[in-house]
Amino acid sequence: MITEADIIKFKELYRTETRQGISSEEAFECVRNLVELLRIIYKPIKKNDYEVFSNKLRLKTYGKTMPNIYK
């Protein structure tokens, strides 16, 4: 849930970054869109997927797979 405090903070950040003001309605839409974007793209990586990625990265970097020292 987006609170009034969230809107105020976003407006402050927006003004700091762009040197332009923004209405509360525009700020609410921006925050809502940002939250929705993060909800869509954020997905925790599964342990198996991480291990597959790590092995591919090690192979690409070192030319061979190396044991995972963090297990």
Tell me if 33 is assigned to some domain: yes
- Three-state secondary structure call for residue 50: helix
Predicted local confidence at residue 71, as pLDDT = 56
Q: Which amino acid is it at 3?
A: T
**Distance (Å, rounded) from C-alpha 55 to C-alpha 47?**
12
Tell me if 67 is assigned to some domain: no
Q: List, for residues 2-52, the tens digit of each pLDDT value.
A: 999 999 999 999 999 999 999 999 999 999 999 999 988 888 888 888 888
Residue 67 has pLDDT above 70, yes or no: no
Show the domain range for 28.
Answer: 4-62
- Residue pair 68/51 in contact (Cβ under 8 Å)? The answer is yes
Tell me if 35 is assigned to some domain: yes
Alpha-carbon distance values, 51 to 28, 30, 38, 43, 57 (Å):
39, 36, 24, 16, 10
Predicted local confidence at residue 33, as pLDDT = 96
* Confidence (pTM): 0.60
**Distance (Å, rounded) from C-alpha 40 to C-alpha 58?**
29
Predicted local confidence at residue 53, as pLDDT = 85
